[in-house]
Chain A
């Protein structure tokens, strides 16, 4: 890094381009990060609206609002929009914003590919929405009533909306694979001199592992849905028993992707927690190395336990025993992470700003979801719980705290850095409490419903389940609407507020806090030296 190169840099220094070109042609990691986050927020409301329709229908037994196929289509869309539209892009948005700033790099390694991996998303979202709209037109065929798992033979029989969905999944897959390649290349090659892999901030580590998981599993899903497309239109029988295929093969391909996907959603939030909890406990993260090791263990074991989603398809005793033991083993490294977080808080001088409230909430509620996961991992018990509302309660306890609350924590933690303004702390805390309480009202009763035998993915239910469903639906309405408050807080912070210092939180550590708030359009054009 010589002085001549600095003048070279300054000569080419340019400010942000104006107008729509700034966004459409952007190669700037901060702008693309913003685009990702805005896209995710839009999808959050779309997916949330479909969830609220589902809960409205389940408010009372009988069929009131939605016919069964439309209901199941909403269930399918809610899952796909939330997973592929909201959580993954939001995590990618955080990665785009933070990774270059955290490792002292001027930008992502492949800026043009970064642009492409974002701009594929709106196209994919359009396809996804089209798949929902098409059945309303004459000749549009049936709705996608399969649920997000898209199991054949039903998914082979669904109308043309399934083809839109398959292409949407292809596009979403391309987007996340490109983003993953970019993130890995950035993390491996662009770190500031002196920053070894084991000095890398935890958020970067979680994203390194997440990106590798994505590269390993998303192509397999893409292959699976491609075979589905071939079965539908080109006369192959990958999954059709009459042609020598096996429908269970699709389940294996799907869950080979689907189970690691859970960790793909979870790990970036674990990364956020590893910054938020030390910052507000005013202590360094407890057990950094063990945290990295635990994460690698989770990712490795998580790759080979997928069939615990299929205990009931009739695998041999040996196979289910293997998948059961493997699944239960995962609770050991995950438990280690949780204990590390608790140990970080232990005897720290803690304060409870909004990000920290979310972080503590995650440690509590994610652990709860993890425990019901261990229940589901046990084969004889799972035979009872399988496809019941208990499963719905379980994975919402894992994914809402584990993924979405982690993203909220990250947004509140870094919002002052991005916008240069402090958010309204009082509103933030109100949002946290409404959000968390209504979340529990919504999903806690679903455990009881499932244990009492209410199946999932069915539009109607026995009258004996009415009370808990009413509670759950009321909670869901509050929960859904509470996100409008989140939107308001974010807009308010962007428009103004108390000026944020470069180190917005006194306990915050890391390179990103050495930059101005908001940071310049180009940062770390001269790499910092890490001791």
Chain B
């Protein structure tokens, strides 16, 4: 028994160490998921909702206006809690013809006394409509800086592509305004890519 006990002891020790290594590795795997997940989504396009660059990807083949069709576009705004702004759409809902360019206005107001820089992130619902919603000019292309208590109009020019699938007759454009860190504000870039801009600092 003594022999077997000591033999077992060594065996148990080895197995225990091996399994503990597995535990540590899996704990690390959880953290490795953070960069891997982003990479995976970017490469495969699995997380289609996070692909802001998809917006307006389809350029209409036919430039003329389709007056026979109406599409309802709704506008929705959200302000992240860390940004002391009020942000509202002046037009809640608009009936549009595909192929025609429209302009709507948003208003942002800095509720604090300090200068703050923010960036608006667009998304389209239903997500299937995302590539067919083109923005000609948008305040979300740039960082927006408001001085203390300043108020600013933020215009958006957009067009819904004629190729929008027939079954979609209503879509929502949603903006989330987020605060940019001070360090990111200093480095001036003329235009931020259309996808999650706050990622650009990474």
Residues of chain A touching chain B, judged by Cβ–Cβ distance below 8 Å, are 1-2, 5-6, 8-9, 109-110, 177, 180-181, 184-185, 188-190, 215-224, 227, 238, 241-244, 246, 248-249, 252-253, 256, 313-316, 318-319
- CB of B16 within 8 A of CB of A185, answer yes
CB distance from B114 to the nearest CB of A (A): 18
Q: Assuming the A-B contacts A184-B19, A190-B8, A253-B33, are A241 and B178 also in contact, with contact meaning beta carbons closer than 8 angstroms in the complex?
A: yes
- Taken together as a complex, chains A and B put the C-alpha atoms of A244 and B23 apart, in Å, by 28
A237 and chain B: residue at smallest CB distance: B198
Residues of chain B touching chain A, judged by Cβ–Cβ distance below 8 Å, are 1-2, 4, 8, 11-12, 15-16, 19-20, 22-24, 26-31, 33-34, 37-38, 44-50, 80, 82-83, 121, 127, 176, 178-179, 196, 198-199, 201-202
Name 21 A/B residue pairs within 8 A (Cβ), A-sorted: A6-B1, A110-B12, A181-B23, A184-B19, A188-B15, A189-B11, A216-B26, A219-B26, A219-B27, A219-B29, A220-B26, A220-B27, A220-B30, A222-B30, A223-B29, A238-B34, A244-B201, A249-B33, A314-B47, A314-B49, A315-B48
Q: Assuming the A-B contacts A315-B46, A316-B46, are A219 and B34 also in contact, with contact meaning beta carbons closer than 8 angstroms in the complex?
A: no
Among B23, B24, B121, B202, chain A packs the most CB atoms within 10 A around the CB of B23
- CB of B198 within 8 A of CB of A242, answer yes
B47 neighbours in A (Cβ, 8 Å): 246, 248, 314-316
Q: Assuming the A-B contacts A5-B1, A219-B27, are A243 and B22 also in contact, with contact meaning beta carbons closer than 8 angstroms in the complex?
A: no
- Taken together as a complex, chains A and B put the C-alpha atoms of A177 and B15 apart, in Å, by 14
A322 and chain B: residue at smallest CB distance: B46
- Taken together as a complex, chains A and B put the C-alpha atoms of A220 and B26 apart, in Å, by 6
CB distance from B196 to the nearest CB of A (A): 7
- Taken together as a complex, chains A and B put the C-alpha atoms of A318 and B178 apart, in Å, by 31
- CB of B201 within 8 A of CB of A8, answer no
Which secondary structure dominates where chain B touches chain A?
helix
- Taken together as a complex, chains A and B put the C-alpha atoms of A244 and B196 apart, in Å, by 8
- CB of A223 within 8 A of CB of B30, answer yes
A223 neighbours in B (Cβ, 8 Å): 27-31, 33
A2 neighbours in B (Cβ, 8 Å): 1
A256 neighbours in B (Cβ, 8 Å): 33
A184 neighbours in B (Cβ, 8 Å): 15, 19
Which secondary structure dominates where chain A touches chain B?
helix
- Taken together as a complex, chains A and B put the C-alpha atoms of A227 and B46 apart, in Å, by 23
B118 and chain A: residue at smallest CB distance: A242
- CB of A246 within 8 A of CB of B37, answer yes
Partner of B37, one of A8, A242, A252: A252
- CB of A222 within 8 A of CB of B27, answer yes
- CB of B48 within 8 A of CB of A252, answer no
Known: A221-B30, A253-B33. 12 other contacts (CB 8 A): A1-B4, A2-B1, A8-B2, A223-B31, A227-B30, A241-B178, A242-B83, A244-B198, A244-B201, A246-B38, A256-B33, A318-B46
Among B8, B26, B80, B83, chain A packs the most CB atoms within 10 A around the CB of B26
CB distance from A330 to the nearest CB of B (A): 21
B179 and chain A: residue at smallest CB distance: A242
Partner of B1, one of A1, A190, A318: A1
Partner of A242, one of B30, B46, B80, B127: B80
- Taken together as a complex, chains A and B put the C-alpha atoms of A154 and B11 apart, in Å, by 47
- CB of A189 within 8 A of CB of B46, answer no
CB distance from B192 to the nearest CB of A (A): 13
- CB of A215 within 8 A of CB of B26, answer yes
CB distance from B182 to the nearest CB of A (A): 14
A316 neighbours in B (Cβ, 8 Å): 44-48
B178 neighbours in A (Cβ, 8 Å): 241-242
CB distance from A54 to the nearest CB of B (A): 30
CB distance from B53 to the nearest CB of A (A): 14
A184 and chain B: residue at smallest CB distance: B19
- CB of A313 within 8 A of CB of B49, answer yes
8 closest A-B pairs by beta carbon, nearest first, are A223-B30, A5-B1, A314-B49, A219-B27, A219-B26, A220-B30, A242-B178, A316-B48
Partner of B199, one of A190, A244, A253: A244
A253 neighbours in B (Cβ, 8 Å): 30, 33
- Taken together as a complex, chains A and B put the C-alpha atoms of A510 and B11 apart, in Å, by 26
- Taken together as a complex, chains A and B put the C-alpha atoms of A216 and B30 apart, in Å, by 10
